[in-house]
Amino acid sequence: MGLSRFATVLALAALAGGAAAPASAQQKVLRIAMTAADVPTTTGMPNNGFEGMRFLGFPVFEGLFLWDLSRADRPATLRAGLAEHWEQDADDPKTWIFRLRQGVAFHDGTPFDADAVIWNLDRFFKPDSPQFEPAGSGITRARVTIMGGYRKIDDRTVAITSTRPASYFPYMLVYVLFASPPAWEKAGRDWGKAALSPAGTGPFRLSRFVPRQSAELSRNEGYWDAERRAKLDRVVLLPMPEANTRLAALRSGQVDWIEVPPPDGLPSLRGSGFEVTTGSYPHVWPWFYQMGGDTPFRDVRVRQGLNYCVYRAALVGLLNGTAEPSVGWLKPSDPAFGRPANRYGYDPARGKALLAEAGFTPQRPLSFKVLISTSGSGQMLPLQMNEFMQQNLREACGVNVSFEVAEWNTLLTALRSPPGNATLNGAASINPSSPSSDPSVMVRYFTRGAFAPTGFNWGQWTDEAFDKAIADLEAAKDEAAALSAYAAAHTRLVDNPPWLFIVHDLNPRAMTKRVRGFNSPQSWFIDLAAVDLAR
């Protein structure tokens, strides 16, 4: 059951050891090199952003909803997961009633039921619960910014309430994953020990975990959806944050698949018989502007001016065509892009004029620091790209940019921290990549209620017209009204920009010809269960 971004959302209301050893001739073992510097956490709410969710989230653990990753010709939508039926309460549209799927067991053999749902929700949203997990809670709360409450109705039914009616609430709940309560008890009620032997309900189970080195997933033979049982016997996940290291590992046969190959290596990979995949997906690579406190970004002319200074086409060329210019949070082809007055292109004269109006001239140039990462989920090639941006802004508009360089998880911690956090070391901008998949993401990145640490509005951006459009979206009763409100909200993101929009990633991957059945969906996530490996 697929859920389109609007119509069906509204209808919802009705390892092989430490090193990468060669694959066994008897088993199908897929070895993947990730961009992460460490193995994502394995407790059931992985760190390392959406790359963590891609490889150690959804393949092992599941939510009430799941992503439908079966098609590549449209943005991914939602489908039924551990809930087989749901509806909004007719008397209280803030409350959603979920009928849980029968016959589902965690990997440790214990049943998935309403008690397990409440236990996990307490784990994330109830700080005084014995099972409360601070790290997992911080990640989950930032993605589910309007959680109100929840209760068990019976063994197969739960009710979850949002703080306000919101048609997009399922798109937040998809990120709430469920782990086995008995597995935590068996680990001595210690999340550190539970990370070594967690139990989810997904098509793969964690069979081996070596911190900072590798993780191994094995097929869940008893997966509840018989038609989606994994074709692979095992998947070995290896952190390799440096792009050229990943490239060398693929060429030498140490791995079968790499995330984000270096753009200059793509022609030779294709020429050597490797498969290179790209595809449009909901992704933005921006700089966030900080507007809380005394920063130059309080002036909209500065924020607009910088958007006219970026030579996006040249950056796309540097990336060998593996990106698209970004002139908004959504792509211009999206029906919700709207009709903003500003259509950002490379126009240094206009950019310098706007900066001058704000008081920044060659005699008094704009100068600021950006917190950037060395690698990470969706970060593409951050060091090379940011060096390009530094030179581009200096040469085009006389802007002086310096960098504070951090590891990816350190940057994510700063993103979830209020302005002035010591990690920033004076940075007034930050460079995390962002999803742009649906209205729920827009809400948690740009609304007043999503200031860090509650959500991802790190810059503390506000806009009354945007707030009104979001309120109209939340109250929409039909697809046309929802789309109109979404477009009105996006128009404000372009004309009163909270970010410096730079590029959209085209999601490049490289793999051997032995990899079969891979579908590159318009999503940050992939269906590992559908992937096969020729012997």
Query: Using one digit for the tens of pLDDT, what is the confidence trace for 83-95?
Result: 999 999 989 999 9
Q: CA 470, 475, 479: angle at the middle one, nearest 5? A: 90
Q: How far apart are CA 43 and CA 399, in angstroms?
A: 44
Q: How distant is the alpha carbon of residue 253 from its chain centre?
A: 29
Query: What is residue 22's DSSP assignment?
Result: P
- Of the CA atoms within 13 Å of residue 472, those in its CB half-sphere come to 18
Q: At which residue do the structure tokens 């039926």 appear? A: 85
* Listed residue (270, 303, 304, 272) closest to 289, CA to CA: 303
| pLDDT value, residue 400 | 98
| 3-class SS of residue 420 | coil
CATH class of 283-505: alpha beta
Domain with CATH 3.40.190.10 in the chain: 7-258+508-533
Contact indicator for 36, 241 with CB cutoff of 8 Å: yes
Domain with CATH 3.10.105.10 in the chain: 283-505
Q: How far apart are CA 242 and CA 251, in angstroms?
A: 15
Contact indicator for 43, 181 with CB cutoff of 8 Å: no
In sequence order, what are the residues at sequence separation of 6 or more whose Cβ sits closer than 8 angstroms to the Cβ of residue 464?
Answer: none
Q: How far apart are CA 428 and CA 17, in angstroms?
A: 43
What percentage of the chain has pLDDT greater than the value 70?
95
187-202 pLDDT, tens digit per residue, is 999 998 888 889 999 9
Q: What is the CA radius of gyration of the chain?
A: 23
Mean pLDDT throughout 7-15?
40
Contact indicator for 315, 393 with CB cutoff of 8 Å: no
Residue 493, amino acid = L
On the question of a cis peptide bond just before residue 211, with omega within 30 degrees of 0, the verdict is no
Residue 349, amino acid = A
Sheet hosting strand 29-34, strand order edge to edge: 204-210, 214-219, 234-239, 29-34, 257-259, 509-511, 275-277
pLDDT at 118 over 90: yes
| 3-class SS of residue 438 | coil
pLDDT at 21 over 60: no
Q: At which residue do the structure tokens 């002035």 appear? A: 420
Torsion-angle region of residue 40: left (phi > 0), alpha (psi -120 to 50) or beta? beta
* Average pLDDT value for the chain: 93
Residue 355, amino acid = L
Domain 7-258+508-533 has CATH 3.40.50.300: no
| pLDDT value, residue 13 | 38
34-66 pLDDT, tens digit per residue, is 999 999 999 999 999 999 999 999 999 999 999
Neighbours of 314 (CB within 10 A): 12
pLDDT at 15 over 80: no
